[in-house]
Amino acid sequence: MSSSRDRLLQQCTVKLFPADSKDWGTGFLVTPNCILTCAHVVEGHEVIPMWWRGQAWATAKVEQILPLPVDLALLQIELPEGEQPPWVLLSETFKPFDRLYVYGYPDDFPDGGSVTIQCEGNAQEQGVTLIKAQAGQVRPGHSGSPALNWETGQVCGVVSDTRSRSTDLGGLLIPVSTVFSHFPDIQAQTRRLTSRTLSGSRYRCKLWLYLSRDRQCRHPNFLPITLLPLRGAPLKRQPLPLVSAAVAGYWQLQA
């Protein structure tokens, strides 16, 4: 049975299927209207059709592309009216032996599939730093997938390449530190979300926000707005969740 954490990560991912191409890749939301993926997934295209939840959903415009050896691309999307999927929180934190959960659209599971891998540490290739991972089968189509560090509950890397298509040698990931160095606006927003402290009664109706718009996206530790008084109830900050709800950490009524 899936946990809430992996289901939430799945809701943050999209399938990127460039027109006139037999190949596809994965992307994921890092802000409400920005998708991060690998450059080699979208290279040569300006507009990318996207699939979400198994159906054609929207299109994305390639805003910035950094070819190999960096291999990152940032896409801008206009969401259909009334829709707001969750987006991930990024973290530079990882260490050897951390468990990583990856969700994307590999060629053997084109409608979406998970893989778990284990962090081995850093690796250097063509002058760039990568995360080397083992003990999981990374396939074509996983490129651009988010790697959730199960220890922190935040995304620490972007799947870039496989080490073997037919065995569980794992793959290579672009660390979030590289993302931040090339996309400082994303770093700034992440810092705002993870450092903001909310207090006072005027924020007590904002605890549900984006996750409340979709039953499948709700985190089990959130309390519905309808159960929260507007004032007088103390709040207790909990560890940061996988998905941003614009409050940089979820909050619960104190017992």
- Residues 131 and 74 occupy one common structural domain: no
| Domain boundary, last residue among 181, 212, 241 | 181
pLDDT band at residue 22 using 50, 70 and 90 as cut-offs = confident
Residue 193 resides in a domain: no
Residue 149: which domain range? Answer: 99-181
Calculate mean pLDDT across residues 183-203. Answer: 65
Q: What distance in Å separates the CA atoms of residue 146 and residue 103, rounded to the nearest whole number?
A: 7
Q: Is 1 among the domain residues?
A: no
CATH number at 163 reads: 2.40.10.10
Reduced 3-state DSSP string for 113-149: EEEEEEEEEEEEECCEEEEEEECEECCCCCCCCEEEE
The pLDDT, as a whole number, for residue 39 is: 95
pLDDT for residue 222 is more than 50 = no
Exposed, middle or buried, 137 (CB in 10 Å: 0-12/13-18/19+)? Answer: buried
The 8-class DSSP code of residue 39 comes to H
Select from 25, 54, 81 the last residue of a domain: 81
Residue 82's closest CA among 187, 214, 252, 255? 214
Judged against a pLDDT cut of 80, whether residue 201 lies above it is answered with no
User: Do 105 and 177 fall within a single domain?
Assistant: yes
Q: pTM here?
A: 0.73
Euclidean distance between CA atoms 12 and 194, whole angstroms: 18
Of 26, 46, 81, the position where a domain reaches its end is: 81
Own/partner contacts of 165-168, CB < 8 Å, gap of 24 or more, are 165/137, 165/139, 165/140, 166/137, 167/137, 168/134, 168/135, 168/136, 168/137
Question: Across all residues in the chain, what is the average pLDDT?
Answer: 76
- Do residue 158 and residue 219 come from a single domain? no
Domain shared by 173 and 121, yes or no: yes
Q: Are residues 164 and 114 in the same domain?
A: yes
Shared domain for 75 and 108, answered yes or no, is: no
